[in-house]
A and B are shown apart, each in its own frame.
Chain A
């Protein structure tokens, strides 16, 4: 299985809007909750009530500061899970075939019963999208909620990843990025969606929408001046203006 499919029928993935993500970690925990109860082994936690709690998570939210040449520093919240790469190096390095990319939708999965927990796929992934579960000894990664998106036990509207369903800000979108007409593809086109580490040649399916330009006001006063053209400088004149305005109503 370690070979990648030549093509996939569709390219399911996420689009993450860095302009909208408020960094609330809701997606992190709903992912943990769903995947602890579903696909494969539960996501374990070591020393959960002790000095160094550390558990398996399939989705984590970083934050970065960006200091532009002029203007104040910005802060960007940055969720990251598996990007379901088209040229997924994590798949080809796998010695057991446990890692594979599904032909029908491009989802990259680990077949946990085949995984020997060698960790090589995690080394091969540039994005830190794979974590070896310390209790189960197998590799865990985002499944794109493969057990939700087709799940006939769920109402139609809930057949989307847990993280997408829960995101309060609506910063996560799910769909077929192979179909240029899909809502996600349109969003990517409109907002200049980008790849992470394109130079790694992994061809990620997931796209990131860049933050919109911020702090556009750079001290130009004139453009805005007309909106503040004074009607009066002191109370008397102002009351006169008020009278005239009321008269007109």
Chain B
């Protein structure tokens, strides 16, 4: 018998359209293969700067996301009680009319009564523009419950952070340490980077209580006790200082280590920098022994400088650091046990870092010139790179822990040097180059400036004249003075409590607040549907935009159905969270590679319509007509400031098309589409490292429009704005914190990194609740969305609680048994599975697999709803009462970041219940449920 004849060259598709993936925030480039106008296959775009052709499981499964039966089909008006899921489909005109009837009166009388929060929005520069024009101070995206500690600590310290702001120098690093990362927003690049390290045989060390994913491939695993990374890192700092294993030259040149500090406790500027008339921080110039501005040409800053001026002693930041971190409190012996490590282990790691950084430097033969005008023949780097994410940031000590890690990087001279950590344009950008938060409301008028930003002292807080919070989420108050991303997780509970005030309309976009993105999920569902004594809802109106039938949909009065990511325009802008790489500035679009087959609209386009109907400046022309027909129109024609628009590519210049700055180009989107959906401009070679101080980079950044003039700056080992809040807490100045917060501000807003135990440890009895409980993102699932995807839900249809071997034994548990897990706040009953590669005091589960019955077009007996569960039921947005009459927020005291991972629990064996507990009544599905069989194939008819 002969072998069958195969068609080895079947036609793959009729057409390929290139756009940007949206199954997570990583935003890879995709090739969408179409057959007969239908999406047939999705693969990575090889030319794309982010993913270079690869694609993760979610990205490849996009076809089933795009076709999910859970897609909303038309605007919905609630017909049953909130939380029932009963709706009727209405027209867009009716939907807009309803929205306008609620919003217009608010704008004219009390714009702050609209709270507009936008979840994991990738168009924040647009949505915030809308909110600003509406005039409400109550706008933010999800950063506050996500990773604001990371972003803020990084920006205050070094003008950029891990996450989307930078990346390890994968090409050159020799030792890579990854702290508390399961997936990250940079998911494909991290995997690609790890692969590159592995191929080179570079060493990877994972610091994580759980050994899965990246930590599983790590050559060494540090199974740290949750919440103690700061201590561990500062102990490494202690050892490196003791051994003089720091980059002295780098510290002197590029950081504020030599900057002089007022060290007179009586002085009103105690702990602030010594500044000259131009407000420039002062250093001692080693050439003269005199003070000089840090950036004066030729200055050689002295790290050990000290001076007495006007009767006040000043010493360098470095001197203070030596005093603090050489203290035996930070010795490995003093910290190891608390971290779940041994002193020898910490010492060995310090030694390995020291050896790699200083015995194996990377030297690139690339001359460059620094901001003081000094020419360097080579670029010398320390091939030790760090990366971290929510494992360190989602704790109540996360800001300081992230700071500690940045300080460690900087001491090693491993930031913006070859082999270390590098920024992605438009970063680096110091905190001072960012806006400050604005909150001044004038009815009928736009807000006085952008909502979010960076505070530099008490004057920048968003307080009303009576000192009460100006914002519904209480961001930028004494409770969390540097809450740069707002605090979305507090909005619903504050609005429900009418504290600081009542609102009228809660407008949410793309955040499943009635389920996985809230703490205290049951409580939030109750708050959303709670009524007052008249039987009216406590939160009178809720508008929500989702693309799918999520849990949150059931709690809104009006639904604006979004398209899927393949059906709309989007803009991944340099004004926002772009897709840049360390070697390139880049932005991207999404465009309708297929047209929607339902009565849905891209949410941004809906905002253009709504903005026009409300007459918002910025959304109407001078004669009052709608300014932007849709989002595509906005993307091309909006001008933020002269020459700068949402997209940086193919702008119109005098001599033709140009990058960065330029006028509107009506054909801009066509250029993007032609180029595969993205624009990329490479950083010149000599500008590729030392970016904050590299003149070539500074000039390039100005030319690209990142800023208007070169702005070299120093890394802030010592963060002066923190000190300003401390000073206020010590009684200086006229904006004073409330009494109950003074002590906390004094201890936690330390300008040099410190460690303190996670707050929950002080509010919950650690003996009764001895176990840490965490979640991790599965690589193949995106929060709650993944579940509606028939392929992905087969990978993760249930989420057991993973329990370390010793705890399994201690509680007589076997795989598949059930356990009751309780925190001070609540309890859940869930299936367990044993795991050995786990910190012995930690249990964990996959995040957001558990689903509410009736959501996502799944059948009510779906395993996600009967066996899956949320850990969120155990976590409260407030800490348990401590007897001081106060309820402290379960947040970082600096940034307000939700402290998801501070959770402590106890576990006990339980009889197997019918389904995991707590169980909730099913929601009615506004979209029905999915088909019983799937054979997904688009065959060409030709």
Contact = CB atoms under 8 A, between A and B. Distances in A.
Does A touch B (CB under 8 Å) in the complex?
yes
Interface of A: 1, 17, 19-26, 28-30, 32-34, 36-38, 41-42, 44-55, 57, 63, 65, 67, 72-77, 97, 100, 102-103, 109, 111, 114, 135, 146-147, 150-154, 157-158, 162, 165-171, 212, 214-217, 219-221, 224-225, 227-235, 238-239, 241-243, 245-246, 249
Nearest to A155: B46
B791 A45 contact: yes
7 contacts: A24-B191, A26-B57, A45-B933, A47-B933, A75-B216, A220-B348, A238-B244
B56 interface: yes
Interface centre among A42, A47, A53, A67 (most CB of B within 10 A): A53
A201 to B, nearest CB: 24
A168 B837 contact: no
Contact of A228 (B44, B198, B350): B350
Contacts of B43: 30, 162, 165-166
B810 interface: no
B242 A233 contact: yes
B244 A51 contact: no
B211 A75 contact: yes
Interface string B18-47: 000000000000000001000011111010
Nearest to B859: A50
A157 B793 CA distance: 32
A246 B191 contact: no
A63 B347 CA distance: 32
Given A51-B859, A166-B55, A217-B345, 4 more contacts: A51-B866, A168-B187, A242-B318, A249-B249
A169 B40 contact: no
A227 B239 CA distance: 10
Contact of B242 (A75, A216, A231): A231
Given A73-B211, A151-B8, A37 B937 contact: yes
A53 B794 contact: yes
A48 B304 contact: no
B532 interface: no
B194 interface: yes
A44 B794 CA distance: 12
Given A55-B791, A249-B248, A76 B56 contact: no
Contacts of B188: 168
Interface size class of B (residues with CB under 8 A): 35 or more
Nearest to A209: B198
A151 B10 CA distance: 7
A120 B1 CA distance: 20
A224 B60 contact: no
Contact of A17 (B7, B198, B858): B198
A246 B322 contact: no
A53 B216 contact: no
Contacts of B192: 168-170
A171 B11 CA distance: 28
Given A33-B41, A233-B242, A26 B60 contact: yes
A55 B211 CA distance: 29
B3 interface: yes
A216 B221 CA distance: 10
Contact of B57 (A25, A74, A243): A25
Interface string B207-228: 0000111111111110100000
Nearest to A171: B195
A19 B214 CA distance: 11
B579 to A, nearest CB: 16
B18 to A, nearest CB: 14
A228 B357 CA distance: 12
A111 B8 CA distance: 14
Contact of B937 (A42, A76, A233): A42
Contacts of B114: none
Contact of A217 (B198, B220, B242, B326): B220
Contact of A246 (B46, B211, B286): B286
B46 to A, nearest CB: 7
B234 to A, nearest CB: 15
B803 interface: no
Contacts of A17: 198
B7 A147 contact: yes
B861 A165 contact: no
B391 interface: no
A104 to B, nearest CB: 8
B54 A167 contact: yes
A170 B195 CA distance: 6
Interface of B: 1, 3-4, 6-12, 35, 40-44, 46, 51, 53-61, 63, 69, 187-188, 191-192, 194-196, 198-199, 211-221, 223, 239, 241-245, 248-249, 252, 286, 302-304, 318-319, 322-323, 326, 342, 344-345, 347-348, 350-352, 354-355, 359, 779-780, 788, 790-795, 797, 835-838, 857-859, 861-863, 866, 929-938
B344 A219 contact: yes
B60 A228 contact: no
B27 to A, nearest CB: 14
A38 to B, nearest CB: 6
B49 to A, nearest CB: 15
A165 B45 CA distance: 11
B216 A168 contact: no
Nearest to A149: B8
Question: When A and B form their complex, which 5 residue pairs have the shortest distance between CB atoms, in order from nearest?
Answer: A49-B930, A170-B195, A48-B790, A168-B191, A224-B351
A162 B857 CA distance: 30
Contacts of A54: 794
A245 B303 CA distance: 10
A74 B216 contact: yes
B855 to A, nearest CB: 11
B9 A26 contact: no
Given A29-B792, A224-B351, A235-B319, A49 B195 contact: no
B8 A146 contact: yes
A141 to B, nearest CB: 15
A212 B354 contact: no
Contacts of A77: 216-217
Nearest to B28: A168
A22 B182 CA distance: 10
Contacts of A166: 43-44, 53-56, 60
A30 to B, nearest CB: 4
Contacts of A245: 244, 248
A215 B779 contact: no
B65 to A, nearest CB: 11
Contacts of A151: 8-10, 12
A34 B55 contact: no
A158 B319 CA distance: 57
B3 A1 contact: yes
A239 to B, nearest CB: 5
Contacts of A214: 218-221
Nearest to B866: A51
B863 A49 contact: no
A214 B836 CA distance: 15
A76 B215 CA distance: 10
B191 A51 contact: no
A7 to B, nearest CB: 15
Contacts of A30: 43, 55, 57, 60
Contacts of B791: 29, 32, 45, 55
Contact of A231 (B243, B344, B861, B935): B243
A152 to B, nearest CB: 4
A100 B2 CA distance: 10
Nearest to A114: B4
Contact of A44 (B242, B837, B934): B934
A24 to B, nearest CB: 4
Given A231-B244, A233-B326, A37 B221 contact: no
B54 A50 contact: no
Contact of B1 (A1, A55, A167): A1
Contacts of A230: 242-244
A1 to B, nearest CB: 5
A217 B935 contact: no
A49 B69 contact: yes
